[in-house]
Every structure is written in C-alpha cells, then in structure tokens.
C-alpha cells in the first residue's frame, strides 16, 4: 500500500530540510519551498519557478498542502470580526475567527474539533469532543487567515474605486464558497491600510497576521504536542514569524500541561480560565476542576510564574448573579493577591445550552475596581462578533 502524502503544514522547517536531504536534495531547495509558502502564500507548484524541476516533481508526489476548504464565512455587523467555518480533510468542521480591532490583527484558532472539558456555559463544551487537530490543521488555520488578509489588502484599491464609483461592495470569500456582500467593506474604519508596496519583504506587502490566540474550539493543553509543534512552525523566523509574546494559549486548567509549559520554558503567553474562586463554585461551571482542583491549580500557576518569572492572565467569565458579586471579586482578589497576574473579565456570551445572562457594565466595572484594590490589573473584554457566534465560548459545529 502506498503511503499518504505528508501534509506540508505538519512540518517544521528543519523537518522539511531533513526530508529534502533524505530525497537526496540540498536543503537550499527546501528553504525556497518554505519561503514560497510562508512568505508569498504560494501553494501552486507551477508558480514556484525557482525550484529545480526534479525537486519540485518529488515534492509534489510526497507533499500535500493541507489547507482547509471554507464551508462558510460570516462577517459581524461590528465590522471587525469574521468567522470561518472550515472543513477538515475527513469532513469534520472547525471554526476560526479573524479579529481586527484596536489596530491589531488577531486569529482565534482552534486546537480540537469539539472539546472534552464540558464547561457548562461554553458552546464547544456543549457539543462534546470529536478529535484532536494535527499541528498542520492548526497551522493551516493561520494560513487561512493570512490568505484572507492578503486578499483583502490586494482588494483595497478595488474597494476604494468601487465605492467611489458607487459600484457594488466586493465579494469576500477567498474560495468563492459562501461569499457574501460585506456592507462593512465600505467603512473606512474597517478597511485595512494599504501596506508599503515598495517594501522588499513579501510579508510587508499585505496586512500581516501578528497575533494568535489559542482560544478557539478545544482545550490546547489536552492536545499538547500538536499545539506546541504548531506554535514552533508559526514562530519560525523565516515563515510567519509570529512573536512568542503575540501568541496566547488559554487553558481550562490542565495542570500537567501548565507544569510542562514551565519546565520546557515555553515563551508564549499563558491564560488560565478561572471562573470560580472556591473549589465548589468553580467545579459547578468547569467540571474538570474535580480532576484538577483549584488549590493544585494555584500551586501549578505559582510554579509557572516563579519558574519563568512571567505573569499569567486569568480569565473570568462574568455571569450575572452567579460569579459577579463584590464578594466574588474579593474572593478572586484574595486568591490571586501577590501573584504576577492580570485578570481578563469576559461578560458571558450567549450559547444554546446555558441559561445565564452576562454581567452588566456597572457590575463589571465594580468587579474590576475591587481587583485593582488587590493590586491586580484587570480588563473587561469587549464583546465582538456575538451576532455571528464568534465570541468567546460561542464556537460550535454540527457533530456530523
């Protein structure tokens, strides 16, 4: 039986070089291939003239570009958020979100199809677990967003002239599937700035993906090896070159994974989902707290902070009447006091399987102020993309 071709996006650069060497080719060809894909966004073998024909023919037989098909693409009325429903090779689906606010371009990426952790207020938890994603399937989400940014940037001049001429708003899907009209494309505020066309770096010619949050579907530390390999590929200096500080991994509190991140000195940001400041309150929202109890989680977090001399971002979904009182805020303050920590408050986003309401603005502000009194910096996350189900905890797909 012949082996299946390797997904190019599963390979680190050194692995691609090793592969070239094992085929009897110098690594310089592999370096060129890597640059074509990650710097120029080219996946078409015939559009890689600098590759010698023999290497190209071999690579074409052995490698496949495992990019995801767009099954649907939706744009939020906020003008800053796009959600992609992506089909994996086996027909399973995942969601990826592109956010473009506060001057930053961020991709919210999934690490699993579904999730096994069962947090009660989370749509991904409500749908259950399907499978881990491979490193290549994680990287391909970033490439999908990168391609969308390239297309949008290339399209800017066209959009401008369309609008000036009173012509139609443009199509937005990069595959033509489920393309729709984006009324926001007419708004200057949501239109990406034209990049410097005279720059010598291919990256600089389009709006770059600079931030990644592993906060999409799934629990990244449940899929540790694939996620870390993907992070290595995304960080590669000759590729997408994302800064470690621009990548944030959010975990429900998988203790062995947090310890491993510390022991391996992984330089990315870590966010830990807290939601309850006592074991009982937390376990009611986050069932896996029974397996990884709060006191042990705090020990692991302190270990991480001390070992790496780095802060942790704690996430707290604010649910009206459930975990948003002044008393709750003081409990969080006491729990985290003295830690290098920042708290991110996320007003609950609606999901079909949970009945709660988000905390209002005033109560959220109050919560924030109480935490400030404990020396804990704290932000309230802006609600974006809620109308298209692209907010925190809203990503979910049909299981089949």
In the DSSP assignment, the letter for residue 206 is S
Q: How far is the CB of 14 from ligand SAH (least distance, A)?
A: 29
Total number of residues shown for the chain? 400
Maximum Cα interatomic distance, the chain, rounded to a whole number of Å? 69
Spatial contact of 392 and 381, defined as CB atoms under 8 Å apart: yes
Question: Which alpha helices (H) appear in the chain, and where do they start and end?
Answer: 13-22, 27-40, 53-62, 123-127, 135-164, 224-235, 255-263, 279-285, 294-308, 326-336, 361-373
Q: How far is the CB of 397 from ligand SF4 (least distance, A)?
A: 13
d(CA 29, CA 313): 42
By Cβ distance, which residue is nearest to ligand SF4?
Answer: 125
Which of ligand SF4, ligand SAH, none does residue 349 bind (CB under 5 to 8 Å by kind)?
Answer: ligand SAH
Q: Which of 137, 219, 315, 324 binds ligand SF4 (CB under 6 A)?
A: 219
Residue closer to ligand SF4 by CB (options 19, 397) is: 397
Residue closer to ligand SAH by CB (options 119, 230) is: 119
Q: Which residues make Cβ contacts (< 8 Å) with residue 54, sequence separation at least 6? A: 25
SS3 sequence of 64-84:
ECCCCEEEEEEECCCCCEEEE
Task: Write the binding mask 226 to 265 for ligand SF4: x where contact by CB under 6 A, - elsewhere.
Answer: --------------------------x-------------
List the one residue out of 385, 41, 362 whose CA is nearest residue 215.
385
Using CB under 6 A as the binding rule, whether residue 115 contacts ligand SF4 is answered as yes
Using CB under 6 A as the binding rule, whether residue 356 contacts ligand SF4 is answered as no
Using CB under 6 A as the binding rule, whether residue 125 contacts ligand SF4 is answered as yes
Using CB under 6 A, list all residues that contact ligand SAH: 119, 121-122, 215, 219, 250-252, 273, 315, 317, 346, 348-349, 351, 392-393
Q: How far is the CB of 344 from ligand SAH (least distance, A)?
A: 8
Q: How far is the CB of 353 from ligand SAH (least distance, A)?
A: 10
d(CA 270, CA 249): 5
Q: Which residues make Cβ contacts (< 8 Å) with residue 327, sequence separation at least 6? A: none
Q: Which of 11, 86, 108, 117 binds ligand SF4 (CB under 6 A)?
A: 117
Residue closer to ligand SAH by CB (options 220, 239) is: 220
d(CA 139, CA 162): 34
Which of ligand SF4, ligand SAH, none does residue 392 bind (CB under 5 to 8 Å by kind)?
Answer: ligand SAH
- At residue 14, the 3 state secondary structure works out as helix
Residue closer to ligand SF4 by CB (options 247, 254) is: 254
- At residue 384, the 3 state secondary structure works out as coil
Using CB under 6 A as the binding rule, whether residue 348 contacts ligand SF4 is answered as no
Residue closer to ligand SAH by CB (options 246, 275) is: 275
Which of ligand SAH, ligand SF4, none does residue 351 bind (CB under 5 to 8 Å by kind)?
Answer: ligand SAH
Q: How far is the CB of 122 from ligand SF4 (least distance, A)?
A: 3
Q: Which residues make Cβ contacts (< 8 Å) with residue 21, sequence separation at least 6? A: 27
d(CA 389, CA 269): 25
In the DSSP assignment, the letter for residue 351 is B
Q: How far is the CB of 274 from ligand SAH (least distance, A)?
A: 8
Residue closer to ligand SF4 by CB (options 118, 160) is: 118
Known catalytic residues are 95, 392
Residue closer to ligand SAH by CB (options 184, 344) is: 344
Q: How far is the CB of 232 from ligand SAH (least distance, A)?
A: 20
d(CA 91, CA 27): 34
């Amino acid at each position: 039986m012949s082996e299946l071709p390797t997904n190019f996006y599963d390979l680190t650069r050194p692995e691609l070089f090793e592969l070239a060497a094992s085929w009897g080719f110098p690594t310089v060809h592999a370096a060129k291939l890597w640059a074509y894909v990650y710097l120029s966004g080219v996946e078409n073998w015939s559009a890689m003239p600098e590759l010698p024909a023999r290497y190209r023919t071999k690579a074409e037989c052995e490698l496949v570009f495992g990019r995801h098909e767009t099954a649907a693409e939706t744009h939020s009325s906020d003008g800053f958020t796009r959600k992609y429903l992506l089909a994996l090779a086996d027909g399973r689906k995942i969601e990826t979100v592109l956010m473009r606010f506060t001057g930053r371009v961020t991709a919210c990426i999934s690490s699993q199809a579904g999730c096994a952790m069962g947090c009660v207020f989370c749509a991904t938890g409500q749908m259950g677990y399907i499978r881990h994603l491979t490193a290549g399937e994680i990287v391909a989400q970033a490439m999908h967003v990168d391609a969308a940014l390239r297309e949008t940037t290339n399209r800017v001049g066209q959009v401008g002239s369309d609008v000036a001429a009173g012509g139609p708003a443009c199509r937005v899907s990069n595959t033509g599937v489920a393309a729709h009209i984006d009324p926001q494309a007419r708004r200057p505020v949501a239109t990406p700035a034209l990049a410097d066309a005279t720059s010598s770096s291919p990256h600089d010619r389009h709006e770059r993906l600079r931030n990644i949050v592993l906060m999409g579907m799934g629990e990244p530390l449940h899929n540790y090896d694939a996620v870390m390999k993907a992070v290595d590929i995304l960080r590669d200096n000759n590729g997408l070159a994302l800064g470690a500080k621009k990548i944030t991994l959010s975990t429900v509190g998988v203790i062995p994974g947090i310890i491993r991140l510390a022991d391996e000195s992984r330089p990315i940001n870590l966010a830990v989902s807290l939601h309850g400041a006592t074991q009982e309150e937390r376990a009611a929202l986050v069932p896996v707290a029974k397996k990884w109890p709060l006191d042990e989680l705090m020990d692991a977090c302190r270990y991480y902070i001390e070992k790496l001399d780095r802060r942790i971002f704690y996430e707290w979904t604010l649910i009206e009447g459930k975990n948003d009182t002044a008393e709750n805020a003081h409990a969080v303050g006491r729990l985290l006091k003295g830690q290098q920590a920042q708290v991110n408050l996320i007003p609950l986003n609606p999901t079909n399987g949970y009945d709660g309401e988000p905390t209002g603005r005033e109560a959220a502000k109050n919560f924030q102020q109480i935490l400030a009194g404990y020396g804990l910096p704290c932000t309230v996350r802006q609600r974006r993309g809620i109308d298209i189900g692209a907010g925190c905890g809203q990503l979910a797909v049909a299981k089949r």
